[in-house]
Amino acid sequence: MSLRTERVGDLIRRELAALIVSRVQDPRVRLATVSHVRVTPDLRRAMIQISILGDDEQRRAGLEGLQHARGFLRSTLARRLRTLKVVPELVFELDRGAEHSRNIEDLLESLHDKNQSS
């Protein structure tokens, strides 16, 4: 990734995080956090990694809420980020990093408990 795409991704991440908290009225997205943004080299598409607290149903609903608000978020970003000629298309993806970390932690703990009991 080039320095420019990293800077644009970071800028989009900060602005989207603020917009989700302050402007999106959908209750499904209140537990959503923008964890990372990857922007394509041509700056036409931004893949937004979203972490959503809750069970699978709440995560799915939160992702649907963000998909529903995608047009609003993109147009608001266009007004806020006037330095960009074109605001990238927003593609939301569920970030399962925390979930994977928790599973690994549970596995390691169960191995530790087995060794303690032996």
pLDDT in tens, the chain (118 residues): 689 999 999 999 999 999 999 999 999 998 899 999 999 999 999 999 999 988 889 999 999 999 999 999 999 999 999 988 899 999 999 987 766 677 788 778 887 777 777 6
Q: Global pTM? A: 0.80
Residue 89 sits at φ, ψ, to 5 deg, of -65, 135
How far lies 68's CA from each of 2, 74, 85, 113, in Å? Answer: 30, 11, 24, 45
- Specify the pLDDT at position 96: 78
Residue 100 has what pLDDT? Answer: 67
User: Could you give the CA distance from residue 18 to residue 24 in angstroms, rounded to a whole number?
Assistant: 10
What are the chain's domains?
3-117 (3.30.300.20)
